[in-house]
Amino acid sequence: MQHYRLTVDKFLDHAAKWHGAREVVEARADGSMRRTSYAGLRARSNLMSGALLALGLEPGDRVGTLAWNTIHHLELYYAAMGAGLVCHTLNPRLSADHLSAIIDEAEDKVIAVAADLLPLVAPALARCRSVRQVIVLDDEGVPVDLPVPVAGYEKLLARAGVPAEWGVFDEESPAGLCYTSGTTGKPKGVTYTHRSNYLHTLRALQADAVGLTARETLLLAVPMFHANGWGLPFAAPAVGAKLVLPGRTLDGASLARLMRDEGVTLAVGVQTVWLGVADHLERGGETLPDLARVVIGGSACPDALLERLGERFDAEIQTSWGMTELSPVGAIAPPGVPSTGAGRAPLGLDLKLVDGDGATLPEQRGVEGRLMVKGHSVVERYFGGEESVLDAEGYFDTGDLATINTDGNLTINGRAKDLIKSGGEWINPSEIEAIVGAHPSVRHVAVVAREDVKWGERPVLVVDVDAAQAGDARGLIELLRGRVPDWWLPDQVAAVDAMPLAASGKIDKVRLRDDLANGRISAATAR
3-state secondary structure of 297: strand
Q: Taking a C-beta distance cutoff of 8 angstroms, is the pair 367, 354 a contact? A: no
Q: Is 426 a catalytic residue?
A: yes
Tell which residue, 431, 45, 412, 494, has the closest CA to residue 237.
45
Q: Is 265 a catalytic residue?
A: no
Q: Give one word for 399, left, alpha or beta, with left for phi > 0 and alpha for psi -120 to 50.
A: left
Q: Which long-range contacts (CB under 8 A, 24 or more apart) does 204-207 make?
A: 204/230, 204/231, 204/232, 204/235, 204/329, 204/346, 205/235, 205/238, 205/239, 206/346, 206/347, 207/334, 207/335
Name every residue whose Cβ is closer than 8 Å to that of residue 337 and which is 6 or more positions away in sequence: none
DSSP single-letter state for residue 310: H
Rg of the chain in Å (alpha carbons): 23
Across the strands, what pairs with 351? 373
Distances (CA, A) of 228 to 152, 210, 323, 416: 24, 15, 11, 26
Degrees to nearest 5, angle at CA 112 with 108 and 115: 140
Marked catalytic residue, from 17, 186, 417, 421: 421
3-state secondary structure of 481: strand
Distance CA 254, CA 30 (A): 12
Q: Is 421 a catalytic residue?
A: yes
Q: Taking a C-beta distance cutoff of 8 angstroms, is the pair 319, 326 a contact? A: no
Distance CA 444, CA 513 (A): 16
HEC letters along 72-106: HHHHHHHHHHHCCCEEEECCCCCCHHHHHHHHHHH
Marked catalytic residue, from 7, 70, 89, 180: 180
Distances (CA, A) of 328 to 43, 55, 343: 28, 31, 14
Marked catalytic residue, from 325, 403, 433, 488: 325
Q: Taking the chain, what is the end-to-end CA distance rounded to the nearest angstrom?
A: 70
Q: Which helix (H) or strand (E) holds 293?
A: strand 293-297
Q: Is 188 a catalytic residue?
A: no
For the chain, counts of helices (H) and of strands (E): 13, 25
Marked catalytic residue, from 363, 386, 426, 525: 426
Q: Taking a C-beta distance cutoff of 8 angstroms, is the pair 192, 240 a contact? A: no
Tell me which residues are annotated as active site: 180, 325, 421, 426
